[in-house]
Every structure is written in structure tokens, then in C-alpha cells.
Structure 1
Amino acid sequence: MRDLERCLIFCALLASVYAACPSRCECSEAAHTVKCVSKDLRSIPTGIPGYTRNLFITGNQIGRIGPESFIGLENVTTLSLSNNRISEVESQTFARLRNLRALDLSNNQLAIIHPEAFTVQNQSLRELNLSRALYNHSSVMDLATSLRWSSLGALQVLDLSHNSLILLPARIFSHLLNLRHLQLSNNSLVAIHNSTFQGLEKLEELDLSQNALKTVGEEGIQELDYIPRTTLLLGNNPFMCKCGIESFTLWVNRSQARIWDIDRLVCAFPVSMRNTSLLEAGKLTLGCHQRDAGGDLALQTSYVFLGLVLGFIGLIFLFVLYLNRKGIKKRIYDMRDACREVWEGYHYRFEIDSDPRLSQVSTAADV
């Protein structure tokens, strides 16, 4: 009986290994590869051979993927799902792929990314490509949650380029403790803050080229100093070389060894300094502080002069009052007497109106 069970199990395994290739796909048992490219597929095809290690399902019309999409594919190490118009990735979608090392979801339209969407058994995932994959800012927030909950402690390469990112959520990468390469190029990042790179002590390369950085403030400089062993790419940003950029240019000068594209760090504005290297811009803009100090001194001098003028006018006013003190005193007394006479007249009229007898006498006297 046991021999029969073993035979059935062996036959089932053998059948799964040597399963027929799904329709509209190309299979190579020798290369352990299955390709389903541009076949207008609406879902992940079933019947993919168990020997598959490299699975390419690209250029199709797949809207969502979930845990049921990859049953029986424990041997897959490389999975490419690029350019499929995928909008939703459910939790535990790749959990069965216990040997998965590289996942490519580039060129999709990810609007909903569930927590634990990228969880893989044994934390085997090493590379995650999300270039041109995020639909909007809401999906960026979902991604931040998923990176936190998906147990990606072994991830080494993360590509988030070409996603129109403007700002990154706070501590988005703090749980990727083994990350080596982080691609953030070709976005619209305007600042570096929110402890963005905290925890990335093993990061070897950070690409921030072709973004919208006009300068890097004190907080951003501190963020980059948190990862002193990381080589940087900062070129092709529209740096604005005006007063206030001195601290960044000083940092650039002392960090030349770790900036790979130092020759591409040039001024974009103002026009008079366009294409000037930031290494030289610091020397040219150091006069800003001197000009500012001169401006502050001029402003302070103006305030002092204005105070003296107002004080002089006040003294003249007091002197005039002193010279006319008798006339002013007489006018005050005259106003007091006039007010007293008016008040007594009102008081007398009130008494007459309140006593009927006095009112009759007053009327008779008038007649």
C-alpha cells in the first residue's frame, strides 16, 4: 500500500515537472524558462511547468494578481511581470515563491498595494524593480506600508525610478536594513527630509539624479551624512545658485570622493551662472553673507535715524506745549466752565420736568 502511495506521489511530481507548456507561452525545459510575452493574457496562466525558474509574463492585460496566481511555482527565482497594466497586488501574492530572488513589476499602474504584498518565504527576495510602476501618491503611501510589513530584510536592490515622486513618506526605507542599491532617479523630488535614509547603514549606491532638487538644506545634508559610506549620484538637478546655497556647496566640496557624477553638479539658475560647477559656485556666492551683513547694517542705520527724527519731533512738540502752557490752561478752564454751565442747565430742566408744581410755575412765568 505504501509502495502504491509513493508511486502516485512520484507520478504526480513527475507530471508537474514535465507538464505541458500553457497555450500562448513558450517553454524551455533545458533553460528552466517560460515566456508569455505580449499574448493579451488577462490573468496569470495555469499549468506552468514546475521546473520553471525564470518566468517572464510581460506585455499583457493583467489587472490584478493574488495568492492564487502562482500556485505550484516554488522553484521560480526570477519573475518578470513588467508592462502588464497591473493595478492591484494583494497581500501574500508571492508568499508561495519561496525561492524568489528577483521580482520585476516595472511599467505597470499600481494603484493598490496591500500590506505584505511582497512577502516571500525565507525572505529570499533580493531585487525589486518598481520603475514606472506607481500610479499616484496614494500608491506611494501603500508602498511605504508594504515595505514595512512585507519582511524585506534581505532586499538588496530597490528601483523606484521614473515614478514622478515629489516627496517620500517618513522612514519609508527604515526596515530595509540590507539594502545596497537604491534607485530614485528621474523623479520630481524637491527635498530630502523625514529621516528618509535612516537605517540604511549598508547602502552602497544612492541615485538621486534627474530630480527637482534646487538645493539641499541642512536637514538633507544630515540625511546624506547618515550614510557616509554610500556613493551618490546627484547630477542633472536644477540647482539654484543664489544666497543660501553656500552650506550645500561646502558639503559638495568636502564630499567629492563619494559623488560619482560631480562634474554634472552645475547651476541651472540664475542665467548668469548657468553651467557653473557647484565646486566653484561656493566661492562665487560666499559674498552673499557680506552683502546681507551690509544690508542688515544699512537697515539698522535707517531704524536708528528714524528713531532720532521721531525723538526730535517729540521734543519740539513738548517744547511748543511748554511755551503755550498758560493759554492751554486758560482754554481748559474755559471748557470746564462751559461744560459746567451746560450741565447745570440740564439739571435744572430735569428738576422742573420731574415736579408738576414747578412745571406749572414755569409755564405761568413763560406766559
Structure 2
Amino acid sequence: MLDFTQRLLLCALLGSVYASCPPRCECSEAAHTVKCVSKDLRTVPTGIPGYTRNLFITGNQISRIGPESFTGLENVTNLSLSNNRISEVESHTFARLRSLRTLDLSNNQLAVIHPEAFTVQNQSLRELNLSRALYNHSSVLDLATCLRWSSLGSLRVLDLSDNSLIYLPSRIFSHLTNLRRLQLSNNSLVAIHNSTFLGLERLEELDLTLNALKTVPEEGLTELDSLPRTTLLLGENPFICKCGIEPFTMWLNRSQGRIRDVEGLVCSFPASMRNTSLLVAGRLTLGCHQRDAGGDLALQTSYVFLGIVLGFIGLIFLFVLYLNRKGIKKRIYDMRDACREVWEGYHYRFEIDSDPRLSQVSSSADV
């Protein structure tokens, strides 16, 4: 009888645990984990057990999340919402997840990110994954505002890779003062501007591989020098090795200890220098400045010589005019008198034509 009672209690306990798991989800109390993977969910399921620390809701059709989506989940530490087609994240969506440390929103279509979308109590969030998550240019601006307003002072890792970013708004990371790793790989960044990385004094790793950097001008080099503790990754960029790249190559040689993949940095253009190491490209292209200087000197000499010739021709012309000044003056007077006679003749004919009586007198005189 006792064994039957124990079995009945055990079955009831297991039944209550099973019943507490949301439909179409898998729950494990022992692992403190709930998985709702590829179940065609339209919203975040309700009834997620309070013991959950690891929550995976991925591969569904959830378009929007808000503060009501995660009530009663104060113990969740790791939250994955990847590949859900989420387009909008409202302010304070994760505010009640006071233990949240890792948030994965990768592979979504974030078009609207509200200003305090990533605010979490106690500033517990340490890792934020937004890889392949930003939908368009406006979402980048929303993100810049959100990173300033969401109180992410404790964030350590931010992943913005694979987002087709062309540029980064100024001071976008200025409030992430404790960030250690920033991943910007596989975007379309064309330049590093002043104040791009302002506020990242504690950054330890910056990944800029697989972007569209053709060179890094002095403004960008100054910006990178403002991150003295940071290890850089710059590989797989289409660097153009032409006149003007020398400051960049000199900086690379000076900063080899900070650039993890410096040995693999090569020229992509022109074809004659393709796969040439950037560490030596500056010395190979330095001659073009010498050739340009020689060309500029020759061009300046040509201009001077042409000026002298034209000036000499002008002097000769003025001297000829001076020698023939009397004849020129006589010709001018003759032309003036001839023009006056012609004008008076035209004036006389006009008066005759305009007065019929004068016209008859003129005809009689002709007979």
C-alpha cells in the first residue's frame, strides 16, 4: 500500500511538471532549460516554468516582443530568440529578466528598436548578439539611440556582424564603457571616422574583417590609436595599394603587436600588386611620389617657359604698335570719316523716302 502511494505521488509530481511546460515546448527541470524550437509559434508562449534559466525560443514566426512577453521569468540567465523574424522590440521588453546575462537576437528582421529595448534590471546583461538582425538603415539609427538609453554599462560583448553596415553613427558606442569585444565582421564598412569608437577605452578585441576598407586614413588611424588595449582584426578587406597608402602601411608596421592578422594583410588592387603584403607595400609604392614630384617640376617648368614666350610676344606686339602709331592713327581717322559719310548718305536717303514731296523733287532733278 505504501509503495502504491509513493508511486501515485511521483506520478502526480511528474504530471504537474509536464503540465507546467507550454504546449509545443520541451522542458527540463534538472537542466533548468526550456526549448521551443521551430514550432511555428506566433508569440512567446505563456506558462514557461519559473525554474527556467536557459530559454530557447528559436526558428518560429514571432514578429514582435514587448514587456508582457517574459513575465515571471526572473531566473532566466540565457535567452535565445534567434531566427524568429522579429521586427519590433519594445522598450523594457527584458526589464523583468533581472538575472539575464546573455541575449541572442541574431537572424531576425529588426526594423523598429525602441529607445530602452535592452534595459535590464541591475544592468546584468553581459552579451548581446545582433548578428544578421538589423533590417535596414533606420534600424541602425534606432540601435544607436537604444545603446545610449538602455543602460548597458555592464555589457562585455556586442556582436553586430553580417548586417551590411556601411557606416556607424558617431558615438554609437559611447555608453558601453565596459565593452570588451566588438564584432563588426562581414559588413560593408568603408571608413573609420572620428568618434566612431569613442568611449571604448576598455575594449580588448575589435573585429573588422570582411568589410569594404580600401585604406585607413589618418583620421581613422587616430581613432584606432585611441584604443591602446585593443587587439585588431583587419583581414579580408580590399586594400588598394597606391600613392597615399604609406601612412597606413607605416602605422601597420608600427602597430604589428596589436594586429592579430597583420601577416595576412595584402593588397587587392592594382593587379600588379595583388597579394603583396601591406607591410612592404608602402616601400614599393613610395617611388610614385618621387615620379609625381618630377612630373610636377617638369609641368611647372613648362608653364614658366610658356609664360616667358607669351610675354615676349606681347612685348614685340606692343613695340610694333608703337612704331606704327602715326599710321594707325591716320587709318583710324580715315575709317571714322568714311563711316560718317556713309551714315550721312543713309540719313539723307531716309529723309527723302519718308517725305513724298522731296521724293518728287528728287525725281524731277534726275530728269
Same fold? TM cut 0.5:
yes
Q: In structure 2, what is the equivalent of residue 292 of structure 1?
A: 292
Q: CA separation in 1, counterparts of 2:199 and 2:292?
A: 38
Q: In structure 2, what is the equivalent of residue 38 of structure 1?
A: 38
Q: Deviations over 1:278-336 (max 9, x none)?
A: 11111111212212211211111121122122112212322332343332111101012
What amino acid does structure 2 have at the position aligned with 1:35?
A: K
Q: Tell me if 1:315 matches 2:319.
A: no
Q: In structure 2, what is the equivalent of residue 275 of structure 1?
A: 275
Q: In structure 2, what is the equivalent of residue 76 of structure 1?
A: 76
Q: CA separation in 1, counterparts of 2:187 and 2:362?
A: 100
Q: CA separation in 2, counterparts of 1:222 and 1:361?
A: 94
Q: Tell me if 1:198 matches 2:171.
A: no
What amino acid does structure 2 have at the position aligned with 1:74?
A: E
Q: CA deviation at 1:342?
A: 4.3
Structure 1 residues 144-155: aligned runs within 5 Å = 144-155=144-155
Kept in 1, the 8 Å contact 2:232–2:260? The answer is: yes
Name the % identity.
85
Q: In structure 1, what is the equivalent of residue 114 of structure 2?
A: 114
Runs of 5+ unmatched residues, structure 2: 1-15
Q: In structure 1, what is the equivalent of residue 175 of structure 2?
A: 175
Q: In structure 2, what is the equivalent of residue 261 of structure 1?
A: 261
Structure 1 residues 11-90: aligned runs within 5 Å = 20-90=20-90
Q: CA separation in 2, counterparts of 1:99 and 1:353?
A: 110
Q: Deviations over 1:214-263 (max 9, x none)?
A: 10011111110111111100111111111110010011010001001111
Structure 1 residues 184-263: aligned runs within 5 Å = 184-263=184-263
> Residue 34 of structure 1 aligns to a residue in which SS?
strand
Kept in 2, the 8 Å contact 1:221–1:248? The answer is: yes
Distance 1:342 1:43, change over 3 A: same
Kept in 1, the 8 Å contact 2:352–2:358? The answer is: no
Q: Tell me if 1:142 matches 2:125.
A: no
Q: CA deviation at 1:361?
A: 7.2
Q: CA separation in 2, counterparts of 1:192 and 1:243?
A: 19
Runs of 5+ unmatched residues, structure 1: 1-15
Kept in 1, the 8 Å contact 2:194–2:220? The answer is: no
Q: In structure 1, what is the equivalent of residue 4 of structure 2?
A: none
Kept in 2, the 8 Å contact 1:18–1:50? The answer is: no
Kept in 2, the 8 Å contact 1:210–1:236? The answer is: yes
Could you say what the CA RMSD is over the residues aligned between the two structures, in angstroms?
2.2
Q: In structure 2, what is the equivalent of residue 93 of structure 1?
A: 93
Q: CA deviation at 1:360?
A: 5.7
TM-score by length of 1: 0.89
Q: CA separation in 2, counterparts of 1:84 and 1:214?
A: 35
Distance 1:41 1:92, change over 3 A: same
Q: CA separation in 1, counterparts of 2:255 and 2:17?
A: 54
Kept in 1, the 8 Å contact 2:60–2:84? The answer is: yes
TM-score by length of 2: 0.89
Distance 1:147 1:50, change over 3 A: same
> Residue 44 of structure 1 aligns to a residue in which SS?
coil
What amino acid does structure 1 have at the position aligned with 2:198?
A: Q
Kept in 1, the 8 Å contact 2:353–2:359? The answer is: no
Q: CA separation in 1, counterparts of 2:147 and 2:185?
A: 19
